Amino acid sequence: YGDPSQKIDYVFKVVLIGDSAVGKSQILARFARNEFSLDSKATIGVEFQTRTLVIQHKSIKAQIWDTAGQERYRAVTSAYYRGAVGAMLVYDITKRQTFDHIPRWLEELRSHADKNIVIILIGNKCDLENQRVVSTEDAKEFAQKEGLFFLETSALEATNVENAFLTVLTEIFNIVN
């Protein structure tokens, strides 16, 4: 996961947002350290994690910010969004409410973040297919209407996590180049 002596061409700040317990911290743990924990405690303290990867021969340091239990409405401060060029808007495919809150998160994002921010909607926990309550079609339609990228992921099984980050980072890369 990245040679520390490597020269960095770009640093991209990406924020994770969405309701509590949708799996934001585990998505980040999977991406940054290839780890997963089933009994993850509510996130404390850690502001962000980084991973350096190469896109079109340039080294990109992805600085991924995770909320520290500030998921209550409007509790995430503007400092969190400052300088962010990407956002991952996460819900849990087994919890309807977490999907119903997405427009609210989107509104918050659009009022605090740069208007050109690249956003991906993520339906996490797709390993729990038998508990699914949010259909892929509904989410896809919403994403299309709002101009967001969309993927379903499983931090547990490592499904699409890499893909989700690469989608956002590559789009950002293409915008700045």
Binding site for Mg ion (CB under 5 A): 24-25, 43
Cα(128)–Cα(116) distance, integer angstroms: 33
For residue 47, give the 3-state DSSP assignment.
coil
- Residue 127 binds to ligand GDP (criterion: CB under 6 A): yes
Question: Which of 38, 44, 115, 145 is the binder for ligand GDP (CB under 6 A)?
Answer: 38
Question: Which of 15, 17, 32, 155 is the binder for ligand GDP (CB under 6 A)?
Answer: 155
**Burial classification of residue 115, based on how many CB atoms lie within 10 Å of its CB (0-12 exposed, 13-18 middle, 19 or more buried):** exposed
Cα(88)–Cα(93) distance, integer angstroms: 15
Among residues 22 and 55, whose Cβ is nearest to ligand GDP?
Answer: 22
Question: Which of 13, 26, 123, 151 is the binder for ligand GDP (CB under 6 A)?
Answer: 26
Both tokens of 41, joined, read: 């405690």
Among residues 55 and 119, whose Cβ is nearest to ligand GDP?
Answer: 119
Which residues are near ligand GDP by CB under 6 A?
20-26, 37-40, 43, 124-125, 127-128, 154-156
